[in-house]
Amino acid sequence: MSKVKLSELESLIVKLQKIKLNSKIKDKHRAFASSLLSDYMKYKSLTVNQKCAAFNLIKYAKPVRVRKPIVKKESYYLYAMTAGGKVKIGYTSNVKSRRIQIQTSNPDNVIVEWSMKCATTKRGAKIQERKLHRLCGDFRVGGEWFEYESLDLVKNFKVKNIV
């Protein structure tokens, strides 16, 4: 089967039709290609400026590469840290750096008393933290700080399902 040689204008029209039909190309480029094609259909020709615009469109209208979002599986940990006779209960993805953060705003020495992997998502970690806070609710001093006696409850806390 022999190939048919298309004229420059016919080749241009074919490329514009491909752009118009390609859903991966930006809508504004597809709309512009559609506009040029409708002018061609109406007048059976394109002006010099339209041809120039069509060549630029073909040159720059590349399919948009849609990247899949990277789902980062992180480990979250519940922790209990003591400072000045009080216990801070919370969650974090990095216990060491969290201890350093708490230490900078605390004049007493901060010690990590307990930590446990509790979740692979932030939402799951918040749920586990709330359960632990409710368990120690009678010992709450304020916010996430509890009396030292709550440490026994914390150490016996078990995470049922890591979410």
140: buried, middle or exposed (CB in 10 Å: 19+, 13-18, 0-12)? Answer: middle
Structure tokens at 159: 């995470």
Q: CB of 153 within 8 A of CB of 80?
A: no
Q: b or e along 29-41 (b: 16 or more beta carbons within 10 Å of the residue's beta carbon)? A: bbebbeebbeebe
Query: Which residue ranges make up each domain of the chain?
Result: 8-60, 76-155
| pLDDT value of residue 71 | 67
Paired strand residues for 92: 77
Distance CA 33, CA 23 (A): 13
In order along the chain (163 residues), what is the average pLDDT of each group of 10 residues? 74 90 88 91 90 88 78 88 96 96 94 94 93 95 95 89 66
Total residues belonging to the chain? 163
The strand pair at 111-119 and 76-83 is best described as antiparallel
pLDDT confidence of residue 163: 59
Cα(143)–Cα(98) distance, rounded to whole angstroms? 16
Residue 154 pLDDT:
93
What pLDDT score does 141 carry?
95
CA distances from 2 to 5, 88, 153 (A): 9, 80, 84
